[in-house]
Amino acid sequence: MNDQASKSRIYYTKPSITDLEVGYATDAARHGWGEHCYDYILRFESLFREHLGIKHAIATSSATGALHLGMAALGIGAGDEVILGDINWIASAAPITYLGATPVLVDVLADSWCLDPTAVEAAITPRTKAILAVHLYGNLCDLDALLEIGKRHGIPVIEDAAEAIGSIWHGRRAGTLGAFGAFSFHGTKTMTTGEGGIFVTGDETLYARALTLSNHGRARGETRQFWPETIGFKYKMSNLQAAIGCAQLERIEALIERKRQVFEYYRNALGDLPLRMNPEPEDTANGYWMPTVVVDRTVPFDREKLLAEFKAEQIDGRVFFWPLSTLPMFARCPQNVVSLDIYARSVNLPSYHDLTRAEQDRVIACLRRVLSGTS
């Protein structure tokens, strides 16, 4: 066997599953039916509320569903506009279109890769119904600035915290500062339920609306069986998924800490190279879901060459999100110069809980070779 064939594959991410998750899932499969069909869901929602320090939570089948549910509860609809950053995964923009509203794509900041508050304010029109603050790769949006803009214009700020479990803004966890927050528990995330998400809010009225919409339009307290008061959605998380999530939440602090350890090893090893990584401003914590490098524009860099080098070394490569305005379903936004500049100079690095230092060293060596031009 040659050296290449003997190298283990380094995935860009995968979940941490232990006997605890397997045990809870087995119990849900054996006993979680009939009158017990919601037991793990209710427990999961309670544990997540406690973790965040927020009043209300509705477990969903995806973060996309949680965003759709929350936006519908806010009354966003046809003809409305929602402002978000141009650099994002399409899952953030898609729910806006489901409601007949228009995503308005604005530029991001060069340091956080998240919404530029100045660009947000410039994009506000009479049709603007929300600002969608996406905490990209665990990096935090400037929530103080965005919330102030929202308050001044009477526009709610929504937190897409799908990638921000473990991130904290001035003492409060990501997802708890806006009108509502949405999280993802996809298999790539810091904690997982396989697929899944959750809607969270501290607003009692908004929660009541979202709860009704989440149950096919059936209101809480309705005594008539199968009586919806409006057309709603079916985004419920399954009891089996929630069982896995309960186990993950019992381990959540260790899962977050391990992500931070992986990131710190990369940052220390790559600190002398001409690149930037995920920031952690003063009085914040970054959950570092996806360690990311942005190579300085002064250095020749071919992203495709790095990806090919990764592939040759049995390392999964993952590109930085494309600007949404470069996709065929959205209008071009040449004014978003930061978004259009960053993505081609950036890659995500492998990051999962049992990633070894030897495996990280393989990633680091590969990146060094490409940046030095010796590959």
- Residues identified as active-site: 189
Task: Order the strands of the 128-134 sheet from edge to edge.
Answer: 56-60, 197-201, 180-184, 157-160, 128-134, 81-85, 102-106
Distance CA 344, CA 189 (A): 23
Q: Which residue has the tokens 């990806």?
A: 307
Distance CA 192, CA 189 (A): 6
Chain-centroid distance of CA 342 in Å reads 19
Q: Give the per-residue SS3 of the chain.
A: CCHHHHCCCECCCCCCCCHHHHHHHHHHHHHCCHHHCCHHHHHHHHHHHHHHCCCEEEEECCHHHHHHHHHHHCCCCCCCEEEEECECCHHHHHHHHHCCCEEEEECECCCCCCECHHHHHHHCCCCEEEEEEECHHHCCCCHHHHHHHHHHHCCCEEEECCCCCCCEECCEECCCCCCEEEEECECCCCCCCECCEEEEECCHHHHHHHHHHHECCCCCCCCCCCCCCCCCCECECCHHHHHHHHHHHHCHHHHHHHHHHHHHHHHHHHCCCCEEECCCCCCEECCCCCCEEEECCCCCCCHHHHHHHHHHCCECCEECCCEHHHCCCCCCCCCCHHHHHHHHHEEECCCCCCCCHHHHHHHHHHHHHHHHCCC
Q: Is the sign of the CA dihedral 209, 212, 214, 220 positive or negative?
A: positive
Distance CA 216, CA 182 (A): 19
